[in-house]
């Protein structure tokens, strides 16, 4: 099987790790999932796709990274929380005064006292 260098398009034997013309790294990365396969592999170890020579050559590590990196636009539009959700989360946090009270209600080992636990369950039943 012949590998085509993605940088200079020179033909290289599959046993080579670097291009014979330009010295670029030639790796047998799967074009479908980016998995780094052995040159002897007929099928990708990551996704099972054929590693046949019908493909126009190996991908360089930078090409794999570029293909598998999400766009900034996709990251910005896929936020899990709205501003309203964040405000609600912040508002649900106990204030400093309540934290001081809870600190006083802990035992020497850091566990909550039985009285503190009872008050917590009473608040939930109101």
Rounded CA separation 115/124 (Å): 15
Measured in degrees and rounded to the nearest 5, phi and psi for residue 101 equal -65, -45
pTM reported for the whole predicted model: 0.30
Cα 61 from Cα 64, distance rounded (Å): 5
pLDDT, tens digit, 9 for 90 and up, residues 71-107 = 555 555 556 767 787 778 777 776 665 555 556 666 6
Residue 53's pLDDT is 53
- pLDDT band at residue 56 under the 50/70/90 scheme: very low
Residue 55: pLDDT over 50? no
Distance, CA of 56 to CA of 53 (rounded, Å)? 7
């Amino acid at each position: 099987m012949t590998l085509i260098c993605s940088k200079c398009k020179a033909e290289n034997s599959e046993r080579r790790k670097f291009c014979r013309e330009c010295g670029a790294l030639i790796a047998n990365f799967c074009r479908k999932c980016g998995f780094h396969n052995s040159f002897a592999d007929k099928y990708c170890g990551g996704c099972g796709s054929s590693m046949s020579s019908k493909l126009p050559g190996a991908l360089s590590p930078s090409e794999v990274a570029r293909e598998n990196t999400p766009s900034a636009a996709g990251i910005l539009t896929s936020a899990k929380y709205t501003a309203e959700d964040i405000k609600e989360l912040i508002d649900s946090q106990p204030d400093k005064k309540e934290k001081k009270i809870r600190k006083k209600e802990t035992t020497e080992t850091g566990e909550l006292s039985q009285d503190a636990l009872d008050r917590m369950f009473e608040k939930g039943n109101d």
